[in-house]
Structure 1
Amino acid sequence: MHDIRIVRADPAAFDAALARRGLAPVAETLLAQDAARRAAQTAAQEAQARRNQLSKEIGQAKRQGGDTTGLEAEGAGLRDRMEALDAEAKSLEAAQTSVLEALPNLLDAEVPDGRDESDNVVLHQHGTPPQLGFAPKQHFEIGEALGLMDFAGAAKLAGARFTVLKGALARLERALGQYMLSLHVDEHGYAETTVPLLVNDATMYGTGQLPKFEEDLFRTTDGRWLIPTAEVPLTNMVAGEILPEAELPLRFAALSPCFRSEAGSAGRDTRGMLRQHQFSKVEMVSITVPEQSDAEHERMTRCAERVLTELGLVWRRIVLCAGDTGFSAAKTYDLEVWLPGQGAWREISSCSNTRDFQARRMNARYRPKEGKGTAFLHSLNGSGVAVGRALIAVLETHQQADGSVRVPEVLAPWMGGATQIG
């Protein structure tokens, strides 16, 4: 959510910032709504001041035995006018909020210009795509040949975009999640957290999923929402709070199922596990002061990169361009992993700094150590990483010519010492 004072201060700059995302100017509309709202509020305050004065005049006239009929009639008219002005101000405020809440975050100056993912910029790469010495298979070919990945069975149970994993692959998925969560908690300083998988409207609104992305979500019959990522409940834990600066930063991590309708993705990644309605992910969330959020963004991204390195994967960091940066983010780093079976780079983690955009929606503040008053927090989120996509990358990267799969050494504690799946 944006502060209308930013629009008032420099409407041209606000429109120019939105133009980087390919959006039309809105400052003129917002300022007109703002001026009308303020005028209505001022008129209501003036009417209230006159009513207060009338009350004194009526009291004085009654004490002197005078006629108060005219004064009382004026007071009744002012009461009706105040009610109308209050209603008008509320309506104008709602209209202004409706425009503001649909606008994405303003981009960091370092975000490159561009229209879509083809304009994203590669910052660095770890490793080089391996030469396996045989024709690599895609993950679903490997999993089905092992008899441990069942898409037909999942479709019978739930429909398309679900998967049943069995035996060693089910254990491998569990191992990946446990390894990543343990790494972030034990070595990266995140507090392990278990969160609700069902949340209310206010929680979805706080991180920017509502109202704009309703079609991407699953809703229950009692009005709750299945979380698309643990970012939603983790970030909202500070909603409505005023935190002492001495308690910051807060860092949370959760391993949770995630649920997405994949609206608009018809025909994309229809085979395999790349785009599912249900998947697991280890999520990292940081809550910090504004001066530290850029450094926290770098730190969080390095935490995710370590996962990929320890799994023996080839990966690269990219910074998303203006046209590909998500709604709530001011700046986003994506980590992409090389999939030999696909012969392509695919996203496996996304780490974003939302600055105070989500905090304004949640009314989440902190009290500085020095100075008076409060200020909005900065919130960040990142995948550390998506478990299903990590499973895909491990299968395709560590596949062997005989159809077996080598298990990364770091997963041994959760794999019962197994070094190979075959």
Structure 2
Amino acid sequence: MHDARALIEMGAEAVRRLARRGYTLDLSALEDLQSRRNQNIRSADELRAESKRVASEVQQTAKQGGDITKLKERARELKDETREIEAGQEQVQEQLRDLLLSIPNLPDDAAPDGDSDEFAVEVRRVGTPPAFSFEPKDHVDLGEATGILDFARATKLSGPRFAVSRGAGAALERALATLFLDLHTRRHGYIEHAVPYLVTRKTMTGTGQLPKFEEDLFKTGVADRELFLIPTAEVPLTNLYADEIIPPAELPLALTAHTPCFRSEAGSYGRDTRGLIRQHQFSKVEMVRIVDPKDADAELEKMVSHAEACLKELGLAYRVVTLAAGDTGFSAQLTYDIEVWIPSQNTYREISSISNFGTFQARRANIRTRGEDGKPKLVATLNGSGLPVGRTVAALLEQAQQEDGSLVLPEPLFPYLGFRRISADGTPEA
């Protein structure tokens, strides 16, 4: 969310930057709403001041035995006028808030021009994609052949875009989540959290999922209580500090959690309908950092390295790209995507997005710290996947496959699994 005054002061520069992400800022509409809001505030203040003066006159005149009829009539008029102005002010304030909530974050000038993944700029490649002497299978065929993934029964239970893992497959998912949490907490200093999976509309609004993405969310509730299933642990982790002032000495905060994530993926049917790449329910380890705004750029680079560490630990080939301004998420000002190699598709696919939101989410959620002068100021927030379990399983199965249909797993998983290999029939083997 933006400060209306800041956007108006930026003027043409705000229009230019938002145009880079395909958003047309109606500056005149914003200026009009802000002007009407300010005028209503001034008018209401003036009426209250006059009401106070009239009330004092009523008191003094009554003490002196004078006629207060006209004064009392004026007091009633002022009360009605104030009520009318306040109603108008509330309406304009709501219109202004709705407009501000709909305006995406200003993209960082470091983000390249463009509106799709075709315009992403590669930063680096790490690892060598495996070369096979046979035609590699995709993770769906591998999972079903070994019996560790069952998509048909998942569809029977819940419809398309769900999966059931079993045996060594379920153990693999659990092991990956634990490995990622251990890396983040023991090596990178994050504090693990267990958070609610159902949150309020206010919480969803704080991180920018609402109002724009309501059609992508699963919603539930009891009686008149409305709740949303989280699309990522970013939502509860960031909002833990909503409406709080964090002591500067506690920054940066580094938070992580392993949660299920729920997304309806509205409008994305036809893409990745098969397998683990895009599902309605999936498991993910999330990283969130809450920092002083002056440190946000350095913290973003640090967070990217933390997500990369997970892939390096597993020996998976991947690359890092900077997303184009028009392909950057609604709340983000700069995003790095980490893309892992998927042999069956002969390409890199996104496995983690790491974003700097600047003060955009902090303003919406009212998360502050104190500046050197002791006055409250907004923090900066960052988040990234570290990593999604399902997409990691997909990449791992495909990069680890052998010609006989077995799967040789990375050595760092052995302490968590107790086996190094999954045979062609799904049997774990030491």
After TM superposition, the score normalised by the length of structure 2 is 0.96
User: Partner of 2:156 in structure 1?
Assistant: 156
Could you tell me which runs of 5 or more consecutive residues in structure 2 were left unpaired when the two chains were aligned.
Answer: 425-430
Contact 2:127 2:315 in 1 (8 A): no
User: Partner of 1:372 in structure 2?
Assistant: 374
Q: Using the TM superposition, give the Cα deviation of residue 16 of structure 1 relative to its aligned residue in structure 2, in angstroms.
A: 1.5
When the two chains are superposed, the root-mean-square deviation of aligned CA atoms in Å is 1.1
Q: Using the TM superposition, give the Cα deviation of residue 413 of structure 1 relative to its aligned residue in structure 2, in angstroms.
A: 0.6
Check if 1:196 corresponds to 2:196.
Answer: yes
Contact 1:412 1:419 in 2 (8 A): no
Structure 2: how far apart are the matches of 1:64 and 1:405? 98
| 1:80-133 per-position Cα deviation (integer Å, ceiling 9, x unaligned) | 000000111111010000000011111112111112111111111112322111
User: Partner of 1:105 in structure 2?
Assistant: 105
| Counterpart code for 1:289 | D
Check if 1:288 corresponds to 2:305.
Answer: no
Contact 1:284 1:381 in 2 (8 A): yes
Contact 1:6 1:14 in 2 (8 A): no
User: Partner of 1:26 in structure 2?
Assistant: 26
SS in 1 for 2:344: coil
| 1:5-40 per-position Cα deviation (integer Å, ceiling 9, x unaligned) | 202322222211211111112221111011011111
Contact 1:11 1:28 in 2 (8 A): no
User: Partner of 1:208 in structure 2?
Assistant: 208
1:5-16 equivalence runs, <5 A: 5-16=5-16
Contact 2:232 2:286 in 1 (8 A): yes
User: Partner of 1:122 in structure 2?
Assistant: 122
Could you tell me which runs of 5 or more consecutive residues in structure 1 were left unpaired when the two chains were aligned.
Answer: none
Structure 1: how far apart are the matches of 2:165 and 2:400? 18
Structure 2: how far apart are the matches of 1:63 and 1:415? 88
1:212-231 equivalence runs, <5 A: 212-222=212-222, 223-231=226-234
User: Partner of 2:428 in structure 1?
Assistant: none
SS in 2 for 1:221: strand
Q: Using the TM superposition, give the Cα deviation of residue 419 of structure 1 relative to its aligned residue in structure 2, in angstroms.
A: 3.5
Contact 1:111 1:319 in 2 (8 A): yes
Q: Using the TM superposition, give the Cα deviation of residue 365 of structure 1 relative to its aligned residue in structure 2, in angstroms.
A: 0.4
Contact 2:406 2:421 in 1 (8 A): no
Contact 1:227 1:259 in 2 (8 A): yes
SS in 2 for 1:224: strand
User: Partner of 2:427 in structure 1?
Assistant: none
Structure 2: how far apart are the matches of 1:64 and 1:155? 85
Check if 1:332 corresponds to 2:335.
Answer: yes
Structure 2: how far apart are the matches of 1:108 and 1:115? 14
SS in 2 for 1:84: helix
Contact 2:410 2:420 in 1 (8 A): no
Check if 1:258 corresponds to 2:261.
Answer: yes
Structure 2: how far apart are the matches of 1:406 and 1:297? 33
Tell me which stretches of 4 or more aligned residues in structure 1 moved more than 6 Å. none
Check if 1:298 corresponds to 2:318.
Answer: no
Structure 2: how far apart are the matches of 1:417 and 1:371? 57
Alignment partner for residue 351 of structure 1, among 342, 349, 354? Answer: 354
| Counterpart code for 1:35 | S
Structure 2: how far apart are the matches of 1:421 and 1:364? 50
Q: Using the TM superposition, give the Cα deviation of residue 66 of structure 1 relative to its aligned residue in structure 2, in angstroms.
A: 2.2
Structure 2: how far apart are the matches of 1:61 and 1:420? 95
Alignment partner for residue 410 of structure 1, among 383, 393, 412? Answer: 412
User: Partner of 1:174 in structure 2?
Assistant: 174
1:138-149 equivalence runs, <5 A: 138-149=138-149
Structure 2: how far apart are the matches of 1:361 and 1:198? 19
Check if 1:401 corresponds to 2:403.
Answer: yes
Structure 1: how far apart are the matches of 2:184 and 2:58? 71
Contact 2:108 2:325 in 1 (8 A): no
User: Partner of 2:40 in structure 1?
Assistant: 40
